[in-house]
């Protein structure tokens, strides 16, 4: 009852019009729904001490409409939050204002913690030559993923086809700029061009290790950057090469 009185005093009984009304999450984890009820679809997960601006108070039940980090909205039940008002504060510095402006205009929360599968397409260079790589993934949990890769490096004298499987470890799952490490094993098929009589058609083992960054933009658009070292080898010979690629990733 006391909590309800506090909420009423802070937020009022109707739609919130002031941008000074906020909620702080007091539970370890709390679901955010698409509507004011547990039957609505879960669109995000709030964690302890996160703060959200209140947009509206629900007319039925103890629910609040909040603005999420990516600019979308959702509903959270009042039992897991603490409402408060923000008074006047000292103007932030130049760099603080710039950081807030960039985050508000460009960046958004990572969809990885709520996704089951992902798909990325990257292009760049491998051993100094062009390469295109498609990477579907199964997200085991926010930290670990099993990722396939299929790529083509078209060259003047031969084509190199890559295929295999990798493990991905996300070092900061849910972060706007999230680093990750990866190690994978597969096969590289060497296909010489018709006028190439030097290189043999063969299959090599392909071992890749490296990592990169996932940068989440607004609307859950994710930019992916990869740096990886590849070793292509068999019992007779081996060669190494660096992969530098960038592309886009989507998550479901």
Any domain includes 95: no
> Do 243 and 180 share a structural domain?
yes
Q: For residues 249 and 216, give the distance between their C-alpha atoms in angstroms, rounded to a whole number.
A: 9
* Percentage, residues of the chain above pLDDT 90: 48
Domain boundary, last residue among 54, 89, 124 = 89
Q: Is this model's pTM higher than 0.85 or not?
A: no
Is the pLDDT at 114 greater than 60? The verdict is yes
Q: What is the CATH number of the domain that holds 131?
A: 2.40.160.20
My answer on whether 42 and 77 are in the same domain is yes
Non-local (6+) Cβ contacts of 114 within 8 A are 42, 43, 44, 45
Residue 13 has pLDDT above 60, yes or no: no
Q: Among 89, 122, 157, which residue terminates a domain?
A: 89
Does residue 133 sit in the same domain as residue 245? Answer: yes
Q: Are 243 and 210 in contact (CB under 8 A)?
A: yes
Within a domain: 206? yes
CA–CA dist 49, 237 (Å, integer): 55
Q: Is the pLDDT of residue 3 over 50?
A: no
Q: Which domain holds residue 58?
A: 2-89
**Structural domains counted in the chain:** 2
53 & 119 share domain: no
Average pLDDT over residues 34-54: 89
Q: Is residue 154 part of a domain?
A: yes
> What are the tens digits of pLDDT across the range 184-228?
999 999 999 988 888 889 999 999 999 999 998 877 789 999 999
| Same domain, yes or no: 45 and 7 | yes
pLDDT tens string 49-102: 888 888 888 766 689 999 887 778 899 998 898 887 655 556 666 666 666 666
The answer on 213 and 131 residing in a single domain is yes
Q: Would you say residue 177 lies in a domain?
A: yes
**Residue 165 covered by a domain:** yes
């Amino acid at each position: 009852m006391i909590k309800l009185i506090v909420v009423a005093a802070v937020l009022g009984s109707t739609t919130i019009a002031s941008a000074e009304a906020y909620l702080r999450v007091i539970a370890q984890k709390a679901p955010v729904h698409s509507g004011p009820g547990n039957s609505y679809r879960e669109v995000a997960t709030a964690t302890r001490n996160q703060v959200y601006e209140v947009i509206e108070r629900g007319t039925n039940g103890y629910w609040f409409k909040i603005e999420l980090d990516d600019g979308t909205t959702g509903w959270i039940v009042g039992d897991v939050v603490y409402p408060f008002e923000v008074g006047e504060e000292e103007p932030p510095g130049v760099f603080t204002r710039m950081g807030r402006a960039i985050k508000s205009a460009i960046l958004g929360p990572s969809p990885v913690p709520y996704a089951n599968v992902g798909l990325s397409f990257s292009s760049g260079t491998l051993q100094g030559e062009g390469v295109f790589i498609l990477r579907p993934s199964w997200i085991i949990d926010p930290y670990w993923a099993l990722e396939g890769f299929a790529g083509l490096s078209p060259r003047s004298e031969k084509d190199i086809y890559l295929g295999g499987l990798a493990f991905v470890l996300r070092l900061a799952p849910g972060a706007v700029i999230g680093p990750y490490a990866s190690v994978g094993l597969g096969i590289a098929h060497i296909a010489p061009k018709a006028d190439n009589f030097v290189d043999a058609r063969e299959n090599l083992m392909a071992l890749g290790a490296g990592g990169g960054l996932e940068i989440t933009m607004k609307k859950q658009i994710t930019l992916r950057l990869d740096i990886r070292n590849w070793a292509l080898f068999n019992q007779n010979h081996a060669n190494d090469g660096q992969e530098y690629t960038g592309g886009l990733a989507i998550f479901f």
